[in-house]
Amino acid sequence: MNFSIFLLALFDGVAYAALVFIVALGLTLIFGVMRILNVAHGSLYAIGAYTTVSLVGYFLALGFAPAFAFPLMIVSAILVGIVIGAPLEYFLLRRIYQKSEVLQLLVTFAVFMILEDVQRLVWGTQPYFNSSALQVLGNVTVFGVTYTAYQLILLPLIAVVLLLGMRFFLRHTIIGKLITATTEDREAAQSIGIDADRVFLFTFVIGAVLAGLGGALASPTTSILPGMGADMIVLSFAVVATAGLGQIEGAALTALMIGLGRSFAVYLYPEISVLVPYLIMVLVLLVRPEGLFGSPAARKI
Amino acid sequence: MKNLFVTRAAAAMVAAALPLAAGAADKPESLKIGMTAFLTGPASVFGVPARDAAEILIENINAAGGINGVPVDISFIDEGAGAEALTSEYRRMVESGGAEVMLAAISSGNCQTLAPLAEDLQVPNLMWDCGTQRIFEENDYKYVFRTQANATPEMLATVLYLLKTKPDFKTIAVVNQDYAWGRDSWDIFITALKAMKPDVEVVAEFFPKFGSPDFSTEISRLQAMQPDVILSTSWGGDLDTFVQQASQRGLMNTSTFVLPLAESSLERLGSALPDGHIIGARGDHYFLHPERRNDEDFKAFMTQYEEKTGDVSVYPVFHASQAIAALKAAYEKAIADNSVDWPSEDQLLAALEGLTFQGLGRPVTLREDHQGVEDQLMGTSVQTGEYPFATMQNIMIFDGDELTTPVGQNSIEWVGALDAGFVESVTVDTFEN
């Protein structure tokens, strides 16, 4: 393997890791704060993608410029958070925080199944594809290999901004500190006057927006079709579990490891590329059962 | 069950006592048939168009008075619900639903499961879409027939078209889905290609997982290697994603893509599929079929289908039309041959042997091993501006007789024994577009 091939594999890995990280970030945030493993996260991802494709298709048909796709991605992500995420927390999850983990898993899994069928009802079964946003940014050529600027530059950039932004938000803003306090000890936080219900609702909506944003950002690069949410949730779980549940920096590092592992596998030994994320997960959990960044006491599942 | 047995036993005794009356059945109120198709899951890109087509075709038959006055009543089973649910629904439809004939299935795995079940249940089964060549090469069936080609002629036609249109290429890479079809089709393709062009070099083999949302890394590596030809037998969302991503990154300008199932993705791919790539259609299936597009029945159906669905027809529509044409032809032949009002099951099975019928493509004949002999259409993509998506030019239709593995032989062994002379000797009709 010469140096240029090494760099190519690096670029592919980083681009892939960026997308995985954005979805896993929402999942790990929700778990970190609410101690609930949200299987329906995968549906929110898929619905974010579907909504973006529909909105972009609609507005482009009205004659808007293709660059208008970018604000529409943000709109779709926020719609997912508010229209689906908020009612989900308010009407359903709020009732089961005190219940056993098995029940919580089953409830979010049920929501996942329901939302899968809702997608089929609304968008049908035919694949959608709309890459307007990606085409606006054009291509970049490195060592004779053409990349899209969208995947090579924009996605990693957004991932880094989200990582730094989330760190800043949790550590240096009032709301962030309220969330951290509630995460540490819910009862103590309530006793000093923090409205834990509102903190949970807010966190869940942010997590759902991140899932929707992952889908929105993925939409110009891939076919939007039934089942895409299931694939993403499995991979995100692998990332979150390897990182240590609730660990944001850990999720970034793990997403990067999985992205790079997968892309180097495609260059060196393509047959195992599918296995790589899970191999990494097994190896890490063998050595550190609580995850890369996890602490044993904080683990619930 | 007991009642059924008693009835059958009684019927057998009556039949034995009255040999002259043997066979003929009472004319039913309606001919019930069942059809399995993916109505959910990724393969619903095939199942839903096929169901829509079957509904139109059955309506048309019924509007014209049915089969010998008997209307046809079709029900569907979703293959997407899993093999367990599929077999129990299939069994139910035959045993208590009164289905006389079954059309199954899209998935090769489901065909492998349902073929022995059809034998057990003694129900004639027309395999209307599945591709595995193994069915009749590894087993003999009495009740199972296939109304279209199988993977071998489909892949052989692809190899022949590639060698006829681009004989001087040196290197090839493959990007297939990681499941039975992706692996088996590559096996047949490369065996045939190496037999007819021994100096070809395989530079990369990728089998990304089924339903993969991202082929970026594979595409980077292919760009670094620059193979002359890239084969992908993928379909549905996987094929759309692969072609879109390859097109976005310019890979389609440097390598010739060979896409044996791309006919079913043309409309969805829109402008992403540039000129000059090889397209197949799993048979002579194309909404602008050069020999059929001016025929009245063809035009009428295409209009009906587009009005109902808003899309142009894709190959599963043609496969559905062939199965339904075979069904109708078999009943009519059995009725005429035996001068009865309605045929018995044995008479129907006898009529299916060697039957020739015509759906929306060229006529198809069922061989003695029950395999359909279907011609194969291949073409090259071109964006003419007439449609908002690529259509085909330089179309070739290969003769199915020469491409189908001879009865009793194994496909891989047979294609492996072909040689370069086969490319020249094969019968082919060529059309501008």
Q: Give the percent of chain A with pLDDT over 90.
A: 63
**CB atoms A226 and B41 under 8 Å:** yes
Region of poorest pLDDT, from A45-54, A77-86, A259-268:
A259-268
- Angstrom distance (rounded) from CA A203 to CA B299: 57
pLDDT of residue B1: 45
Q: Is B425's pLDDT higher than 90?
A: yes
Residues paired with A148 in a beta bridge:
A139
Does the structure show a pLDDT above 50 at B151?
yes
Looking at this protein, which amino acid is placed at residue A301? Answer: I
Domain B8-146+294-361 has CATH 2.40.50.140: no
Nearest CA in chain B to A46: B213
In a domain, residue A293? The reply is: no
d(CA B39, CA A127): 14
Write down the pLDDT at residue B10: 54
Query: Rg of chain A over CA atoms, in angstroms?
Result: 19
Nearest-Cα distance to chain A for B322, in Å, is 23
Give the rounded distance of the alpha carbon of B280 from its chain centre: 12
Contacts of B223 in chain A (CB under 8 A): 144-146
Cβ within 8 Å of B, A 70-89 = none
Crossing angle (nearest 10°) for helices A3-34 and A196-218: 150
In a domain, A301, yes or no: no
Q: A58 touching B, CB under 8 A?
A: no
Confidence of residue A244 (pLDDT cuts 50, 70, 90): confident
pLDDT of res. A73: 96
Does residue A142 surpass a pLDDT of 90? no
Tell me if the domain spanning B152-290+374-431 has CATH number 3.40.50.2300. yes
Whether residue A230 is predicted with pLDDT greater than 50 in this model: the reply is yes
Domain ranges within chain B, ordered by starting residue = 8-146+294-361, 152-290+374-431
Nearest C-alpha neighbor of B360 from the set B394, B393, B326, B386: B326
| Whether this model's pTM surpasses 0.95 | no
| CB B355, CB B367: distance < 8 Å | no
Q: What's the confidence (pLDDT) of residue B18?
A: 47
pLDDT band of residue B4 (cuts 50, 70, 90) is low
- Which residues in chain A have Cβ-Cβ distances shorter than 8 Å to B39? 125
Tokens 């093999």 appear where?
Answer: B83
Mean pLDDT for the stretch of residues B305-314: 95
**Would you say residue B122 has pLDDT above 50?**
yes
> Considering chain B, what is the average pLDDT of its residues?
92
Of A131, A225, A266, the CB nearest to B42: A225
Q: How far B267 CA lies from chain A's nearest CA (Å)?
A: 11
Compare A300 and A19 and report the one with higher pLDDT. Answer: A19
d(CA B178, nearest CA chain A) in Å: 9
Nearest to B216 among A127, A129, A151 (CB): A151
What DSSP designation does A128 have? B
pLDDT confidence of residue A297: 55
Residues comprising chain B, all counted: 433
- Mean pLDDT for the stretch of residues A266-270: 88
CB pairs below 8 Å between A and B: how many? 110
Q: Strand B356-357 and strand B278-280: pairing?
A: unpaired
From the CA of B386, how many Å to the nearest CA of chain A? 20
Partners of residue B249 in chain A, C-beta under 8 Å: 139, 146-148
Q: Which of A64-73, A292-301, B48-57, B350-359 has the lowest mean pLDDT?
A: A292-301
Of the pLDDT bands very low, low, confident and very high (cuts 50, 70, 90), residue A293 is: confident
Total domains present in chain A: 1
If one counts every other C-beta atom within 10 angstroms of the C-beta of residue B310, the result is: 7
Half-sphere exposure (Cβ direction) of B12: Cα atoms closer than 13 Å: 6
Query: Which pairing describes strands B101-103 and B125-127: parallel, antiparallel, or unpaired?
Result: parallel
pLDDT greater than 70 at residue B16: no
Residue B74's CB: how many other CB atoms inside 10 A? 22
Q: Which two tokens stand for residue B54?
A: 């079957």
Interface with chain A: mutation pick from B202, B207, B214, B217, highest number of A CBs within 10 Å: B217
pLDDT at residue B142 greater than cutoff 80: yes
- Decide if A9 touches B, using CB distance below 8 A: yes
Residue type, B57: L
Taking contacts as CB-CB distances below 8 angstroms, the residues of chain B near A125 are 39-41, 44-45, 48
Residue A228 near chain B (CB below 8 Å): yes
Asked if the Cβ–Cβ distance from A266 to B217 is below 8 Å, we say yes
What percentage of chain B reaches a pLDDT higher than 90?
A: 87
Say yes or no: A127 contacts chain B, CB-CB below 8 A.
Answer: yes
Tell whether A281 lies on the interface with B, counting CB pairs under 8 A.
no
Is the Cβ–Cβ distance between B353 and B142 less than 8 Å? no
Q: Is residue A261 part of a domain?
A: yes
Angle at B188 between CA B185 and CA B192, to 5 degrees: 140
- pLDDT single digits (tens) B184-222: 999 999 999 999 999 999 999 999 988 888 898 999 999
Q: What is the per-residue pLDDT for A6?
A: 85
Write the CATH number for A125: 1.10.3470
Phi/psi for A48 (5° steps) reads: -55, -40
Euclidean distance between CA atoms B238 and B170, whole angstroms: 26
pLDDT value, residue A185 = 81
**A41-71 pLDDT per residue, tens:** 999 999 999 999 999 999 999 999 999 999 9
Taking residues B7-28, report their average pLDDT: 58
Q: How far is B334 from chain A (nearest CA, A)?
A: 39
Within 138-197 of A, beta carbons closer than 8 Å to B belong to 139, 143-148, 151
ipTM rounded to 2 decimals: 0.85
Task: Examine residue A170 and state whether it is found in any structural domain, yes or no.
Answer: yes
| Residue-level pLDDT at A145 | 86
Separation of alpha carbons B149 and A21, rounded Å = 45
